[in-house]
A and B are shown apart, each in its own frame.
Chain A
Amino acid sequence: MSKIAKLTKCEIIKMYSRGAVIGFICAAIVVLAMYSLYLKEYEPQFFNSSKMGNWRNYIEQEANYTISLLNDQSIGMTENVRIQYINESKVYDYLLRHNIPPIAEDTAASMVLKANNLFIYIIVCIIMISCFFITSEYSNKTLGRLVMSGASRWKILTSKYLAILFFAIVFMLIFAVFTVLCSWIVFGFDDFSTHYVYFDGVKVVERNVMVQMMLNFLYNTVSLVSISSLAVFVAVLTKSNLIGMSLCFAVSVFGSLFSSVFAGTDWLKYTLFANTDFSRFLNNEVAFDNYTPAMSLGVLGIHTIIFVVGAYTVFCKQDVVI
């Protein structure tokens, strides 16, 4: 086994032997269970299973209402809202033409799609764990011992980085599995054969619910890699758990809000703030005109490279305080 593989294995064991990490995973399951119950008991449901019998009627009504809104000149509709209604009517048209019923909001299929809203919880956990995982080596003064373990410093940081990414992916998988389990327990068994239809900004897309959920998680993984890199960089740079976490939270949690508020500012799309939620492209919630996933991926990639190079430079050059 190579030195990096041995070090990574050791880091993964270290990570999972901490109570806090297991605590985050258990808390994720609790959050999912509570969110499922909230959706069932308190979330307003416009289209539920009871209306499934005459769903075509319901969709036709919705489509007609949307068209009437678009035709009503007295409504001072902004261009963005207008486009949104046009896209909605395209989806309604697609559903009716292909005889695809919409997803009832009181079903497990609806729950697995809405679980994407809880991705922020995963982000928060990953930031906390990444920062703590790096800064605790400084606060425990154990970094010196690791540096002397017989591997170059870049290998030590790589092993930590890989352990964090491994944890992030495992956490996402656990989250995905428990999303399905919780939705089955709360809403009843569903084989997820239902199809989800939406407008992706260019065309109407029809996709299996399960595939859509997996894509949501996959797109979120892109954001997660970038956020993890930022967390590692900030932790190495500041060596402070508190500063590291605060900075990462500010970028990831408030970043989306910030970019929505300043959506009109075109240059903002090149900042990390505007790109932390990559799954927006799946749901056509992009705040900037002519902004493609490839462009966002490029911006995230450049930021990730800057963070990784920065982290390695600082980690490999700085003297270790003992």
Chain B
Amino acid sequence: METHSLEITGLTKKIGKKTILDNVDLKIKKGMIVGLIGPNGAGKTTTFKCCSGLSSITSGDILVNGHSVKKDFESAVEKLSYSYGSENLYPFYDACENIRSLLPLKVITKEDIRNALSVVGLEKVMNAKIKTYSLGMKQRLSLAMAFLGKPDIILLDEPFNGVDPQGVVEFRSIIRKHRDDHGTTFVISSHNLGEISKVIDSYVFMNHGHIVKSSSGLDSGKKVFTLVLSETGCISEYLEQLGTDVVVKGNRVTFLLESSELNGILQKLASENVTVYDMATESSLEKEYIEILGGENIE
């Protein structure tokens, strides 16, 4: 029997007459890294808030590790961690004091804190006051706090905001390693589709408070390539032979492929004396985002 870390059933959230979430159903398997994707106002943060008890639920229920957020709140959130940005720390405390004050019920040793801060690269500034931290450093501390207390499920809301490119790469590897080592389930919302696509196993598209589409798997290594060529005949046949979907419009060829396979395509084009005038790439997730949301609210 499959175990689900998170089961959302018929979740509806209304504020006044406005419906923020409308009958949302979602099941997330244990140990998965799932991307929650959608434009502003889609309901991603509200979903997270309902899961963590920060927002009340109008109807429906959420089970975290089998415990109902509505009926058994304390057990439900005991092994759940929600990181919602960087501006939720005590500015006059240092990192350790923030962790102790904001996670008062977690059993955390000094060693745990040191390790968590070391993983996110904050060990050297652990005694500095938070008001001296940059946005990226606060984001790193938030991530470290999310890992403390050995949670079974971690909700990360825009974890890459304000983080430098090197940090984003580190974040991805930290998340994957944590999942691999501890079997933790991650649900990550982000507008940075390129970055999120590199870390998630599957995704859920949300818009206007609904789940628009969810996938059980993701071709995370694949990208959508668009080439503008002097001649398209030979290459489209070649790509079809590889089993790739190809769309040809005039002298423009669009296809989905592993980045590592591109070299072979370019060599084929060179051998056929086909000139490449232009080339563009996008992640498969970005393409899907645009297709599903019809280009609305692209961020």
Choose among A9, A142, A320 the residue that contacts B90 (Cβ–Cβ < 8 A): A142
The A128-165 residues at the B interface (CB cut-off 8 A) are: 140-142, 144-152
Query: Judging by beta carbons under 8 Å apart, are A140 and B90 in contact?
Result: yes
Q: Are B84 and A7 in contact (CB under 8 A)?
A: no
Residues of A within 8 A of B102 (CB): 142, 145-146, 149
Any B CB within 8 A of the CB of A203: no
B54 to A3, Cβ gap below 8 A? no
Interface locus among B71-79, B193-201, B225-233, B250-258: B71-79
B55 touches A319 (CB 8 A): yes
Across-interface contacts of B89 in A (CB, < 8 A): 140, 142
List of A residues within 8 angstroms of B88 by Cβ: 140-142, 144-145, 322
Question: Interface size for chain B: under 10, 10 to 19, 20 to 34, or 35 or more residues?
Answer: 20 to 34
Residue B238 is within 8 A (CB to CB) of chain A in the complex = no
A152 and B105 in contact, given A10-B100, A142-B90, A320-B49 (Cβ under 8 angstroms):
no
- Does A99 have its Cβ within 8 Å of any Cβ on chain B? no
Indicate if A98 sits at the interface (CB-CB under 8 A). no
**Residue A97 at the B interface, CB < 8 A?**
no
Which residues of B lie under 8 Å from residue A17 when comparing CB positions? Answer: 93, 97
Q: Contacts A146-B102, A150-B105 given: A319-B56 contact, CB under 8 Å? A: yes
The residue in B88, B92, B104, B105 that gathers the most chain A C-beta atoms within 10 A of its C-beta is B104
* A6–B82 CB distance below 8 A: no
Closest chain A residue to B79, Cβ basis: A150
B66 interfacial contact with A, CB 8 Å: no
* A322 adjacent to B84 (CB under 8 Å): yes
Complex Cα distance, B78 from A148, in Å, reads 8
B52, CB-defined interface residue at 8 Å: yes
A148–B15 Cα distance when bound, in Å, is 21
Binding site for A on B (CB under 8 A): 15, 45, 49, 52-56, 73-74, 77-78, 80-82, 84-85, 87-93, 97, 100-106, 145
For the complex of A and B, list the 3 residue pairs with the smallest distance between their C-beta atoms, beginning with the closest: A10-B104, A320-B54, A141-B88
New A-B contacts (8) at CB < 8 Å, excluding given A149-B102, A320-B49, A320-B55? A3-B74, A14-B101, A140-B90, A140-B91, A148-B54, A152-B73, A319-B55, A320-B54
Interface residues of chain A, those whose CB is within 8 Å of chain B, are 3, 6-7, 9-10, 13-14, 17-19, 140-142, 144-152, 317, 319-320, 322
